[in-house]
Every structure is written in C-alpha cells, then in structure tokens.
Amino acid sequence: MADSKVRRTRRRSGNGFLDILNGLLTFLVIGVLAAGGALLYGASQFYGEGPLGQDTTFRVESGNGLGTTSQRLEEQGLISNRYIFQLGGRAMERQGRLKAGDFTIPAGASMADILKELTEGDPIRYAVVIPEGWTTWEAVQRINGDSNLVGEIAPLPPEGSLLPGSYDYMPGDTRQSVVDKMQAAMQAELDTIWAARNPDLPIQTPEELVVLASIVEKETGVPAERPQVAAVFVNRLRQGMRLQSDPTIIYGITNGQAPLGRGLRRSEIEAETPFNTYQIDGLPPTPIANPGADSLRAVANPDAHDYLYFVAKGPVPSDGHVFAETYAEHQRNVARWREIERAAAEQAESEAEAARQALEAEEAGEAEPPATQ
C-alpha cells in the first residue's frame, strides 16, 4: 500500500517537470515564430513598395547620420517606419556611408531603394557656369538670376576678378558665396601662372597680366590662337606700339553691360578715352572681361614670333585669324578679308531675296481663287 503511494507521487512529480518543459518549449517556439514574423514583416516593409506618390527631392544635410535621416524621411512621407529603415541600414552596414546633398527619390521607392540612392547615388548637381570672356556685370546677372541662391552681391566685384568656370553650390547658399569662390579661384590660378611666367615679359604686375589676358580673351574665340594673339600684343608693347584692340573701345562704350550690336564708328575710334587703345599707350586701366586660365597662361608664356598684326580669316570667329609681321603684309590680308566680307554680305542678301520671293509666291498662290473645272 505504501509502495503504491510512492509510485503515484513519483508519477505526479515527473509529469510536473514535463509540463514545465513543454511550457518552455512552447514559449520558445512562439518566440521564434514571433521573431520570424517580425523579420518577415520588417523585410516586407523594407523591400516593399514605399508610400511616396510622386517623384520628390530629398536632402541629406552635411553631418546627418542614419537616425536623423530616417526620422526626416518618415516625417516627409518617404518611408512608413523610421525604425525599420534604421535597422535595415545598420544590418547592411550603411550607417556611415550617407552622402550629403539633394537626391531624386522616385514614386513608390522602397526603403532599400532609398538607402541605396542616399549611399551610392550621385547627388543632384547645382552649379553656376560662367563662360570665358564674360564681363563681371554679365556674370553677376547670371548669378542673380539663379533662384536657388539667396541674398545680394555687394559691391559689384572688380572686372577681371572672377575666374570663369563651373561652380557647385547647395540651394540656399548665398550669391556672395559663389562670387567669393570665383574670386578665390582667380587669385589661386593667377598666383600659380604669375610664378611660372616668362621673366622677359613687358608686364610688371599680375594685375597687368589679367588686363592683357582679358583683351586676348575678347580678340579670339579659337583656343589654339591665344598664345599667338598674346604674342602680337606683347611684341607691340615691347616696341612701344599701341595695342589697337577694338574690344577695348567697345568696353569703354558699354562698360561691359551689353553687346554693342553694331560696328564701331570712326568717331569712336578717334575718341580719346581711357579704354581706347587706338589712342592710349600701353594697357587700359582695368580688364575688359574675366579671362579664363588659358588666356592667362597665353599671356604669361606667349608664342615666340615677330607678328605685329592680325585680321580675321573668315566670316565667323571659328575661322580664326591670319598674322603678319609688316604693315604692308597686313594690308594685303585686310584687303582679302574685305573681299570675303563683301562676298558674305552679297550671299546673305541673295539668300534673303530668295526667301522674300518664296514668301511672295506662296502668298500670291493662296490669294488666287481655286481653278474651276
């Protein structure tokens, strides 16, 4: 009787242990299933289509980490859950690879797509582009016209102080900051070029180099000609000849604020002004444009030749120029240019007349009543 009670007690005791073990296993299975479900849910959210309804631009500020970026993405409606985005970024080891800048995020982009774009994509590029030979007034007009920039430029930068080129910025940057970059770039370029100049130049200061380079820039649109044109003006300075450059007269008339839009008048060529290099010795008082680095280098190290004159070779600037050592040779080149100029004018007039006749014939045909059958 006593043995039977002991066996029953042991049996009950063994069943209690199994119950506890089964309960633990059940909780473990439930936990695994819950974790697996959470992972599946997170993955579906991370890789599934996002809530963004249309393409938009998102900015990663410089210094922003994964936490701040995920919060801003959620606030702007680009993702549905910042914690899933953040965990996904950490799992893929992307937390230290975010790029600063503006990025285009397409409609419906998943969190994975967005993360890849912000860490591997190229930010939208914002830039102001100033062509070689533009005046400071023209450059400032373009900078002022860029609506992504803010603030005012004051005062107007000196002529010749801006290095032409492309300058990146972020929307919201000030216009003055772009000008500051251009001026710093010009100073750095000028310092380098001045240090490597031909020591025998008839130019005493870096400022004079910029003045002559601006004239070279306006005289030719053919890059390969710049050292030749620069040498012509250097040769003239060495011999005490006047530069006789038409663009200097034009700058004195327009102050660089607009194209002249016509040929020079004799009275303008004969007028004694500070910028008229037909009337003054040496260089004008300031640059007449913002020269590019190639023109600066051309003046610093011009070609070695004895040319003193040049004239256009053809009717368009890309035709370049022909050069001469003597005035007699130059006159022959000018005569040939006049013939080319006259032929081009006659051709243009002939084409205009043909166009007029074609229009008249077309209008006459429309005015006539249709033929009866």
Is the pLDDT at 55 greater than 80? The verdict is: yes
User: To which residue do tokens 């400032």 refer?
Assistant: 140
Of 130-139, 181-190, 202-211, 309-318, minimum mean pLDDT range: 309-318
- Rounded Cα gap, residues 236 and 177, in angstroms: 39
Of 143-152, 181-190, 282-291, 311-320, minimum mean pLDDT range: 311-320
User: Which residue has better confidence, 302 or 316?
Assistant: 302
Residue 3, helix vs strand vs coil = helix
Q: Cα Rg for the chain, rounded, in angstroms?
A: 38
pLDDT of res. 24: 60
- CA torsion, ordered 110, 116, 117, 118, to nearest 10 deg: 110
- Which pair of tokens denotes residue 255? 């102050």
- Rounded Cα gap, residues 326 and 333, in angstroms: 11
Please compute the mean of the pLDDT values over residues 116-134 and round it to a whole number: 93
Q: Please state the domain extents for the chain.
A: 56-120, 126-187, 202-338
Amino acid at 13: S
CATH match for 56-120 among 3.40.50.300, 3.30.1490.480, 3.30.70.1350, 3.30.70.890: 3.30.1490.480
Segment 219-232, tens digit of pLDDT:
998 999 999 999 99
Is the pLDDT at 297 greater than 90? The verdict is: yes
pLDDT of res. 372: 45
Residue 65 is given by DSSP the state: -
pLDDT of res. 209: 98
Predicted TM-score (pTM) of the model is 0.76
**Residue 356, φ and ψ in degrees, nearest 5:** -60, -45
